[in-house]
């Protein structure tokens, strides 16, 4: 498949560049809109070059407070979302790696029952069990709390299954060698299983972080106070049905700010992936 045909190379590059433009242009356009005043945004046609109000708009959005969301700054929303996304990602990984560890490496009564219980929850998406979960959260008084935002989304069958599959590929001899070397269950987990799961953990972290970051339905139900809203909810609230009532330049700023952390996570973790992939290669 490797040919050095100039025309073929040209076509390949053309298609790739076209694809990048299609994906990147709307984001660029959003960025352009985020650097202009409301009047400039509202008056078509929108310039294709960034305006002069970058600092002003971003400062206003981050720290000034946005009128339509009760004067809460986007900075606060970002922080809320970060807490939620990290909470979900880390919580899910911790719980699922531990439960997979128990299911794969220990013999205890009801082991398979627990496994199937976890497995069955795969068939129930969040939306199906949302009302009972909401009721429980209300009864526990967890509305408008980080716990309420994170806890119900933390239990994960997918991640547990993923770790289970991975653990099952670990040769029994390795487990036995560790036993002969005097490593108890905790030492084995810490010294051998965790380092070997590094790449899996990194992959899951990226997926789960983005999953948590883009949550919409659950935060919508769980938060009433504006200062507990997540960025996606904030964004939704900032857009009014009346065009004139919406501070579009700030909406654009918020949009840009909302996509920066997931991009950062992906870019930073991607380097990690590659290293992990190279390392496991024999």
Partner 1 sequence: MASVELTDVRKVYGSSVEAVKGVNIAIEDGALCVLVGPSGCGKSTLLRMIAGLESITGGTVRIDDRTVNDLGPAERDIAMVFQNYALYPHMKVYDNMAYGLRNRGMPKDQIDKRVREAAQTLELTHLLDRRPRELSGGQRQRVAMGRAIVRNPKVFLFDEPLSNLDAKLRGQMRVEIKNLQRQLGVTSVYVTHDQLEAMTLADILVVMNAGAVEQIGAPLDIYEKPASTFVASFIGAPPMNLVHVTSDGNGLILNDGTKIGATGLAVPGEGAVIGFRPEDLEVAADEKSHAGGLVLELGILGVEPVGAESYVYGIVGGERVVVRVAGRSASQTGDSLRVIIPREKLHLFGKDGKRLND
Residues in contact with partner 1 by CB under 8 A are 171, 173-174, 176-183, 187, 191-192, 195-196, 282
Closest distance of CB 194 from partner 1, Å: 10
Radius of gyration (Cα) for the chain, nearest Å?
24
CA gap 219, 88 in Å, rounded: 13
Closer by beta carbon to partner 1, 201 or else 221 = 201
Distances from the Cα of 55 to the Cαs of 25, 43, 257, in angstroms?
22, 21, 13
C-beta separation of 272 from 200 below 8 A? no
Residues 6 or more apart whose Cβ sits within 8 Å of residue 244? 42
Closest distance of CB 281 from partner 1, Å: 8
Closer by beta carbon to partner 1, 173 or else 243 = 173
Closest distance of CB 186 from partner 1, Å: 11
Closest distance of CB 7 from partner 1, Å: 42
Closest distance of CB 185 from partner 1, Å: 11
Closer by beta carbon to partner 1, 125 or else 171 = 171
Closer by beta carbon to partner 1, 176 or else 245 = 176
Q: 241-261 b/e with 16+ CB inside 10 Å = b?
A: eeeeebbbbbbbbbbbbbeeb
Q: ∠ CA(20), CA(24), CA(26), 5° rounding?
A: 140
Closer by beta carbon to partner 1, 2 or else 180 = 180
Closest distance of CB 97 from partner 1, Å: 16
Closer by beta carbon to partner 1, 80 or else 197 = 197
Closer by beta carbon to partner 1, 146 or else 189 = 189
Name 66's bridge partners. 72
Q: Whose CA is closest to 155, among 228, 76, 229, 94?
A: 94
Closest distance of CB 73 from partner 1, Å: 44
CA gap 75, 44 in Å, rounded: 29
- Alpha carbon 10 to chain centroid distance? 36
Main-chain dihedrals φ then ψ at residue 102, nearest 5 degrees? -65, -45
């Amino acid at each position: 498949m490797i040919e050095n045909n100039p025309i073929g190379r040209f076509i390949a590059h053309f298609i790739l560049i076209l694809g990048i433009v299609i994906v990147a242009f709307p984001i660029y356009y959003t960025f352009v809109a985020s650097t202009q005043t409301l009047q400039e945004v509202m008056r078509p046609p929108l310039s294709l070059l960034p305006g002069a109000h970058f600092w002003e708009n971003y400062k206003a959005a981050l720290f000034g407070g946005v009128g339509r969301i009760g004067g809460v700054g986007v900075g606060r929303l970002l922080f809320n979302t970060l807490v939620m996304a990290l909470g979900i990602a880390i919580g899910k990984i911790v719980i699922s790696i531990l439960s997979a560890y128990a299911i794969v490496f220990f013999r205890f009564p009801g082991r398979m029952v627990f496994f199937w219980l976890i497995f069955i929850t795969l068939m129930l998406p969040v939306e199906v069990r949302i009302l009972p979960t909401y009721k429980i959260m209300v009864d526990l008084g967890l509305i408008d709390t980080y716990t309420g935002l994170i806890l119900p989304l933390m239990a994960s069958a997918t991640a547990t299954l993923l770790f289970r599959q991975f653990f099952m590929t670990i040769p029994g001899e390795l487990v036995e060698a560790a036993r002969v070397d005097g490593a108890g269950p905790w030492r084995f987990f810490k010294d051998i299983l965790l380092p070997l799961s590094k790449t899996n953990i990194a992959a899951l972290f990226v997926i789960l972080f983005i999953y948590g970051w883009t949550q919409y339905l659950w935060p919508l139900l769980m938060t009433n106070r504006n200062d507990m809203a997540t960025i996606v909810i904030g964004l939704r609230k900032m857009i009014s049905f009346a065009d004139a009532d919406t501070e579009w330049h700030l909406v654009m700023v918020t949009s840009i700010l909302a996509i920066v952390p997931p991009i950062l996570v992906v870019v930073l973790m991607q380097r990690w992936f590659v290293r992990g992939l190279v390392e496991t290669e024999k």
